[in-house]
Structure 1
């Protein structure tokens, strides 16, 4: 970001950097592409399903959370890879923990969708 940027100028620069990050994630991260496609597809499905507006928001939010965690995981992996190619226990641990965070967010999304759908089918 340029020094001494304030107000709207700062927001514009931050938005540009965020968009640059989204494009990089799309270009270099297959998991990110898969999760975006899954999020878009399931979000459309959420609008077709007979759920309340709040349930729909929670369902879509759970999908967006997976994407957010994937972006964080990808940034951790990029930073670790930048440090060097040689194996190091802490580098491996950082990547594994980032991957575990994505896994937990996926489990949360699956649990959310199943809970809401079962509740609507049974109740």
Structure 2
């Protein structure tokens, strides 16, 4: 068991929230792709409130947008971990980074498909 897992209850929740905010800040400050997705979400999510769609369709539009942010956070974490291990070029490192990038490509494709299907 990790020594960092010692807290429980409310203290753990407070610590977890702090770590989450630190992660969001690190992503926003250090990752241009994350900032671009935040901007895209800042446009698309409010726009979704003005569209003549059902509540379920509205939820799907928003969820597709938020999923891309989640995937970008995971992709950035993968890249940081690979770079922490070694900056040397290695086929497995390339595969890990490429797969993270591919996941983000799929998430962005999902946004386009969901918005396209619902709006057309």
User: TM-score when scaled to structure 1?
Assistant: 0.92
| Alpha-carbon offset, residue 2 of structure 1 | 4.9
CA distance change for structure 1 residues 3 and 93 in 2, over 3 Å: closer, same or farther?
closer
Could you say which residue in structure 2 is the equivalent of 1:74? Answer: 76
Task: Report how many aligned residue pairs link the two structures.
Answer: 118
Could you say which residue in structure 2 is the equivalent of 1:121? Answer: none
1:84-104 alpha-carbon deviations (Å, 9 max, x no partner): 221000000000000000000
- C-alpha distance in 2, partners of 1:2/1:97? 29
- C-alpha distance in 2, partners of 1:37/1:56? 19
1:35-57 alpha-carbon deviations (Å, 9 max, x no partner): 01101210010001111111111
- C-alpha distance in 1, partners of 2:64/2:4? 35
CA distance change for structure 1 residues 2 and 79 in 2, over 3 Å: closer, same or farther?
closer
Could you say which residue in structure 2 is the equivalent of 1:47? Answer: 49
Could you say which residue in structure 2 is the equivalent of 1:15? Answer: 17
- C-alpha distance in 1, partners of 2:118/2:53? 8
- C-alpha distance in 1, partners of 2:11/2:88? 41
Query: Which consecutive segments of 4 or more residues in structure 1 shift more than 6 A?
Result: none
- C-alpha distance in 2, partners of 1:51/1:115? 12
Q: Which runs of 5+ in 1 are unaligned?
A: 119-123
